[in-house]
Copies of this chain bind each other. A is one copy, B any other.
Amino acid sequence: MRVNKFQYTLSELTRGLEVTIKGDPHCLITGVSVIQQAQPGHITFLTNSLYRKHLAATQATAVILSEKDAEICNIHAVVCANPHYIYAKIAEFFAFPSINISGIHRTVVIGVDSRIDKTASIGAHCVIGNQVSIAKDVVIGPGCVIGDGSSIGEATQLDASVTIYNKVAIGKRTHIASGAVIGSDGFGFANQKGVWHKIPQLGGVQIGDDVDIGANTTIDCGAVDDTIIENGVKLDNLIQIGHNVKIREHTIIAGCTGIAGSAVIGKHCMIGGAAMIQGHIHIADHVMITGNTGVNKSILESGVYSSGVVGVVTNQEFKKNNARFHRLENLTQRIKLLESSLKELKEEQNK
């Protein structure tokens, strides 16, 4: 539940959105809530049919829902084609207000030849390198480090404790969460007589507009050319992106996923949590990869893809499954034997 000191009418909350209001557009909304816990004054939402059963009993004053669900609704309703999206827009009214005072905190250390727009806000104890460019309305949280020659586009936000190496270009309206590291050296070593020698990582990182990068996610710089994250890409927490990976527009990737070097992920892909994507492969546009999938080869057509065996079972059953799996060769041999015996038997019978 999130309640603000301000209140809004339904028509204020939905101005400019493609919705139909059923009920009173002037009813007052003071907060947002999930459907089971909503109180009078709250607006809630119905985006998952599992929660439809709670609609009759909700205490909410209003609800965002689809036309189909509106039929069974007896409170004020914001009816729309995409309740999830409309909720996203309405929830913005109730977000925690961020108090960003423009200006550079007195403790910030800045190198030479850097250009920082006067509307930018840079938090305490940040360190900005040489020849860094920071555009207007950028907000940089406390404790960030930005390396030489990097640039941050208009209205981009870095939360606290983000580390940007040098040679990193970040677009507009992008958001990077705490602990993310962008532009660290790619993992490249050449073996000579048993000893690994570092291959200098000469590339940078290009990050587009409207990108979201999660907490403690790491993105390596390119080996020769740049690592590229295109516009609208959304990355969750604790994701590893290897050198020279290219992720194309509007792809979304859940947490704990690893993408090895030089992989190319298409546009509008959805990649589930803890997926592991091998290096040098290509994934087409509009591909969905389910969670935990190991992608060991290129995927050339859109569709839904998975790997391995899933399904949690008791450890006892798991041990049996495991044993059966490791006896597959035995089963195969027994089937072969049955086939030949049966053939013999038939031949004898037909004599």
Contacts and interface: CB of A to CB of B under 8 A. Distances in A.
A215 B199 CA distance: 17
A27 interface: no
A189 B253 CA distance: 11
B240 A255 contact: yes
Interface stretch (A5-13, A67-75, A114-122, A140-148): A140-148
Interface size class of A (residues with CB under 8 A): 35 or more
Interface string A254-296: 1110101000000010000110101000000000111111111
B252 A189 contact: yes
B326 A311 contact: yes
A207 interface: no
A225 B32 CA distance: 10
Contact of A313 (B94, B142, B306, B332): B306
A136 interface: no
A57 interface: no
B237 A184 contact: yes
B329 A311 contact: no
A177 B167 contact: no
B311 A305 contact: no
A325 B338 contact: no
A141 B278 CA distance: 31
Given A202-B96, A325-B321, A349-B345, A187 B160 contact: no
Interface in A329-348: 329, 331-332, 334-335, 338-339, 341-342, 345-346, 348
Contacts of A295: 312
Q: Copies per complex?
A: 3
A53 interface: no
Contacts of A178: 145, 163, 165, 181, 184
B123 A124 contact: no
Nearest to A279: B273
Count chain B CB atoms within 10 A of each CB in A87, A159, A254, A312 and give the residue with the most.
A312
Given A91-B200, A179-B179, A290-B315, A160 B147 contact: yes
A190 B342 contact: no
A185 interface: yes
A214 interface: yes
Contacts of A345: 342, 345-346, 349
Interface string A21-56: 000000000001110010000000000000000000
A33 B82 contact: no
A104 interface: no
Contacts of A192: 82, 85
Contacts of A324: 328-329, 332
Given A145-B160, A238-B218, A314 B305 contact: yes
Given A87-B190, A179-B179, A289-B312, 6 more contacts: A84-B199, A159-B163, A179-B218, A216-B238, A240-B255, A258-B274
A-B pairs, top 5 by smallest CB distance, nearest first, are: A2-B202, A306-B318, A304-B315, A127-B142, A84-B190
